[in-house]
Amino acid sequence: MNENDREPEEAQVSQPGTAVRLDQGHIQGSGGIPERFSNPGVPPHVHRLADIDEQAARRAERQVATLFGISMVATVIFLVAYFAIDQKTYRFIPGIGQANLSNVVLGVTLGLSLLCIGLGAVHWAKTLMPDDEVAEDRHRQRSSDEARGEAVETIMAGGDASQVARRPLIKYTLVGALGIVSLPPVLQLAGSLGPLPKADLSTTFWRKGMRLMRDPELTPIKASEVTIGSVFHVMPEGIDKSEHLLEQKAKAAVLLLRLEPKDIKVPKERNWGHEGIVAYSKICTHVGCPVGLYEQLTHHLLCPCHQSTFDVTQDCKIIFGPAHRPLPQLKITVDSEGYLVADSPFREAVGPSFWERG
Amino acid sequence: MNALASHRRHPAAIAILLLFGLVATGGLYSLLAPKPAQAAVATAGDVNAGKKLFLANCATCHGLTGLGGLIGPNLAGVGAASVDFQVGTGRMPPTGPTIQAARNKNVKFSDEQIASLDAYVASLAPGPSIPDDQQAKGDGNVAHGNELFKVNCAMCHNFAGSGGALTLGKFAPSLRNVTGKHIFEAMLTGPQSMPVFSNNNLSAADKNDVISYLHELDKNQNPGGLSLGNLGPVSEGMFIWIFGMGLMIAAAVWLGSKAA
């Protein structure tokens, strides 16, 4: 059925009282507003092809049955394929590429069997089930006056029988008990919010004298091992024994790099490092992603989440992206055995901004 | 053609178009997807032959003595490992002026020629040497390699070794189907934007573990097919926004339309 065939039919059914189509010209008004608008009622029901043509109805029936039939066939194929196809077989499937055959066949057949049940049901509802609009009036909700009076009497009689009005001691203690018993749930709710954060957001695991350890092996790093252009991913010494390991790791992650000392443009950066070895917090000051993409030639540190770019030669100044503060530097030095150690904790809070941060 | 045009508003047209798009994307991907490169075995090189090759092919950028020219960097001290990586993967000599030389399947030199070039550049100044076959065999601990990869490599090269973007057009290349020797050399020398992971940072055994992990990734088959490049949320999100939501909209249109 084409759209062009349908239009004349629709033109015939539009009568006075129905909505005027935009392309049907203009109806002359009589001027003024009527006293009362009459209920326009439900628009006239347009019969579907299957309502008036028995042959079309039978065709729709066949279509619905075919869809349900496809669903059954697909389910049977699923059941057979479940046992018949080896789970380790890989085949080239057009449009999908090299894929696990069992996986694809089971997915496609089960999807098809469920989809065809849905398609059949919707097609059935659209073509054969009645589509007349029916109005059903609301029931009266208010009970009769007698019933309402009776209910009030029953409640008052019950109140008298329980002697609640005559014995105020019971009345007041009951109110008190019910009032107080609401406190335990409130207390539990407030208590389960956990301890106050205190300074947790501003401090990390790093303390003066802690060795810088390779992540994930947690072996100490000698200054002489950090060659120019190297990157070490670093955790503080003893972090594996910390009580809240993941929280501490998330704050304490540090990136250790070595530059030519002459490439470092900021004196503070040079002084806080050791012969061109510098350590910076790996936690982005934007939303806390690990800033790990170091470009050896340009000395740019790139955050993979939102492309904030920090220039390591300028004390990790932001040169691009949404971050607003440079990465905090960890002051490092070497101990008597030549291992790199922290010379102080982080001097400022690492990671993204938070409410109380200065 | 008229028959086709008259049916263009048919409810099934959207579905057919979607299906066509899906099949075309999949087909094109399987045609254009990169294929594995051939491995190369190095042999002992000859410094004089290397010098001749260097003068003919490299000196334009790196200078007649290899100490750096107008464009190319100083090669004294980069070591044989660096030359073997850059030339052996087809990155050098570059085919044209680019921000970053990319891996090229057409390696310009034979294995002997590369070995000669290695020997010549290594003779300029001491530098990291080419790992022996045993070191980069990829028979190490895959689980440990995965752990090291996640900490040290995955932020640039992606969780599945598919590579990713860096700043200003530079990129971290895909690590799929790269020989163990070249992966070892890249870690050892830090080519281009990549930082150096010397044997003091990741020991030779650690590097072998990383190589084992990457080789295991290469062997891994994708049960669902159509990996969309293993690029994470960008390509996967794009796919589901276009095809998933397209199908949803088509279904909603069909549900809302009246039967004939």
Q: What is the pLDDT of residue B164?
A: 86
Query: CA B139, CA A121: separation in Å to the nearest integer?
Result: 57
Cα(A160)–Cα(B215) distance, integer angstroms: 86
CB–CB contact B167 A300 (8 Å): yes
Q: Do B255 and A122 touch (CB under 8 A)?
A: yes
DSSP B7: T
Mind telling me how many Å the CA of B49 is from chain A's nearest CA?
A: 31
What is the C-alpha to C-alpha distance for residues B257 and A120, in angstroms, rounded to an integer?
Answer: 15
pLDDT at A300: 92
| Of residues B23, B190, B197, nearest to A94 (C-beta) | B23
> What whole-number percentage of chain B has pLDDT above 70?
92
Residue in chain A closest to B164 (alpha carbons) equals: A304
Residue B40 has pLDDT above 60, yes or no: no
Q: What is the distance in angstroms between the Cα of A99 and the nearest Cα belonging to chain B?
A: 4
pLDDT for B239 equals 92
Calpha distance B213→B140 (Å, rounded): 8
Question: Is A230–B155 a contact, with Cβ atoms under 8 angstroms apart?
Answer: no
Interhelix angle B47-57/B111-124, nearest 10 degrees = 90
* Sequence letter at residue B88: G
B94 within 8 A of B71, measured Cβ to Cβ: no
One DSSP character per residue, B177-231 reads T--HHHHHHHHHH--TTPPB--TTTS-HHHHHHHHHHHHHHHH---TTS--GGG-
In whole angstroms, what is the distance from residue A330 CA to residue A279 CA?
Answer: 5
Separation CA B27–CA B29 (nearest Å): 5
Among the residue ranges A185-199, B21-35, B106-120, the one predicted with the least confidence is B21-35
Cβ of residue A101 closer than 8 Å to a chain B Cβ = no
Query: Is residue A185 predicted with pLDDT exceeding 60?
Result: yes
A144 exposure class (CB count in 10 Å sphere: 0-12, 13-18, 19+): exposed
| Residue type (1 letter), B119 | A
Q: Spell out the domain ranges in chain A.
A: 48-131, 212-342
Q: How far is CA B30 from the centre of its chain?
A: 17
- Across the range A105-110, mean pLDDT stands at 95
Distance in angstroms between the alpha carbons of the first and the last residue of chain A: 71
Higher-confidence residue of B69 and A161: namely A161
Question: Of A97, A289, A304, nearest to B232 (Cα)?
Answer: A304
The pLDDT of residue B68 is: 81
**What is the pairing mode between strands A300-302 and A309-311?**
antiparallel
Cβ contact B118:B50 at 8 Å:
yes
Tens of pLDDT, residue by residue over A264-289, are: 999 999 999 999 999 999 999 999 99
Residue to substitute from A59, A230, A258, A277, interface B, most B β-carbons within 10 A = A230
Mean pLDDT of A201-224: 91
Measured between CA atoms, the residue of chain B closest to residue A47 is B260
Is the model's pLDDT at A301 over the cut of 70? yes
Total-model pTM: 0.73
Pairing between β-strand A309-311 and β-strand A317-320 as defined by DSSP bridges = antiparallel
> What pLDDT is attached to residue A25?
62
B184 by Cβ neighbours in 10 Å (0-12 / 13-18 / 19+) ranks as buried
HSE-CB at B111 with a 13 A cutoff on CA atoms is 7
Instruction: Write down the pLDDT at residue A9.
Output: 42
Q: Quote ipTM for the complex.
A: 0.73
Higher pLDDT, B134 or A105: A105
Q: What is the pLDDT of residue B36?
A: 43
Q: Give the minimum alpha-carbon distance from B249 to chain A in angstroms, rounded to a whole number.
A: 15
Q: How many Cα atoms occupy the beta-carbon half-sphere of A159 within 13 Å?
A: 10
Average pLDDT over residues B82-99: 84
Of the candidates A103, A215, A230, the beta carbon closest to that of B198 is on A230
The sign of the torsion formed by the CA atoms of A209, A210, A214, A218 equals positive
pLDDT of A18: 62
Structure confidence at residue B253 (pLDDT): 94
| Pair B179, B39: CB distance under 8 Å | yes
Host H or E run for residue A341: strand A340-342
A133 contact B CB<8A:
no
Interface of B with A (CB under 8 A): 6, 9, 22-23, 25-27, 29-30, 33, 147-148, 151-152, 155-156, 164, 166-168, 170, 172, 190, 192-198, 200-201, 221-227, 254-255, 258-260
Q: Kindly indicate the confidence band of residue A73, based on its pLDDT and cuts at 50, 70 and 90.
A: very high
What is the architecture of the domain spanning A212-342?
Answer: 3-layer Sandwich (2.102)
Number of Cβ atoms within 10 Å of the Cβ of A98? 16
User: What residues in B contact A94, CB-CB < 8 Å?
Assistant: 23, 26-27
**By the 8 A CB rule, do A118 and A110 touch?**
no
pLDDT digit string, tens, across residues A241-263: 988 899 899 999 999 999 999 99
pLDDT tens by residue, B115-174: 888 888 888 888 888 888 888 888 899 999 999 999 999 989 988 888 888 888 888 999
Using the beta-carbon criterion (under 8 Å), do A293 and B166 form an inter-chain contact?
A: yes
What's the DSSP call for residue A71?
H
Residues 6+ apart with CB under 8 A from B82: B75, B121, B127, B128, B185, B189, B191
pLDDT tens for residues B180-204? Answer: 999 999 999 988 889 999 888 899 9
CA of B112 to nearest chain A CA: how many angstroms apart?
Answer: 30
Kindly report whether the peptide bond that precedes residue A216 is cis, defined as omega within 30 degrees of 0: yes
Interatomic CA distance for residues B51 and B57, integer angstroms: 10
The chain B residue lying nearest A89, using CA atoms, is: B223
Q: Provide CB contacts within 8 A for B255, sequence distance 6+.
A: A122
* H or E segment and range at residue A162: helix A145-162
Most B-contacting residue of A53, A283, A295 (CB-CB within 10 A), to test interface: A295
Distances (CA, A) of A108 to A92, A112, B240, B252: 15, 6, 18, 21
Asked if the peptide bond before residue B93 counts as cis, ω within 30 degrees of 0, the response is: yes
**Mean pLDDT for chain A overall:** 88
Largest CA distance in chain B: 85
Contacts of A99 in chain B (CB under 8 A): 222-226
The minimal CB distance from B225 to the residues A96, A230, A232 is found for: A96
pLDDT beyond 80 at B13: no
Chain B's closest residue to A120, CA to CA, is B255
pLDDT of residue A27: 64
- A233 with B259: Cβ contact below 8 A: no
Name the percent of chain A lying above pLDDT 90.
62
Which residue of chain A has the CA closest to B148?
A216
Q: How large is the average pLDDT for residues A214-231?
A: 90
Residue A358 pLDDT > 80: no
- Interchain CB contact of A293 with B (< 8 Å): yes
pLDDT at residue A314 is higher than 60: yes
Q: What is the pLDDT of residues A5-48, one digit of tens each?
A: 444 444 444 455 566 666 666 666 777 787 888 888 778 888 88
SS3 for A95-133, per residue? CCEEEEHHHHHHHHHHHHHHHHHHHHHHHHHHHCCCCCC
Residue A333 has pLDDT above 70, yes or no: yes
- Give the separation between CA B61 and CA B54, rounded to whole angstroms: 11
Contact flag B193-A290 (C-beta cutoff 8 Å): no
Q: Which residues of chain A make contact with B23, given a CB cutoff of 8 A?
A: 94-95
Count Cβ atoms within 10 A of the Cβ of residue A204 and give its class: 0-12 exposed, 13-18 middle, 19 or more buried. Answer: buried
Tell me the CA distances in angstroms from A325 to A254, A319, A353, B142, one per residue in order: 16, 11, 9, 39
Cα–Cα distance for residue pair A177/B108, rounded to 1 Å: 91
Angle at A327 between CA B197 and CA A283, to 5 degrees: 70
In this predicted model, which residue has the larger pLDDT, B242 or B20? B242
In sequence order, what DSSP letters do the residues of A256-318 get, joined into one string? Answer: EEE--GGG---HHHHHHSBTTEEEEE-B-TTT--B--EEETTTTEEE-TTT--EEEGGGTTEE
What pLDDT shows up at residue A195? Answer: 82
* Contacts of A180 by beta carbon, 8 Å cutoff, 6+ apart: none
Q: What is the pLDDT of residue A234?
A: 94
Q: Return the percentage of chain B with pLDDT > 90, whole number.
A: 25
CB contact under 8 A, B200 and A225: yes
- Structure tokens that stand for A233 in this block: 């991913």
> Which of A7, A124, A126, A301 is best to mutate for the B interface (most B CBs within 10 A)?
A126
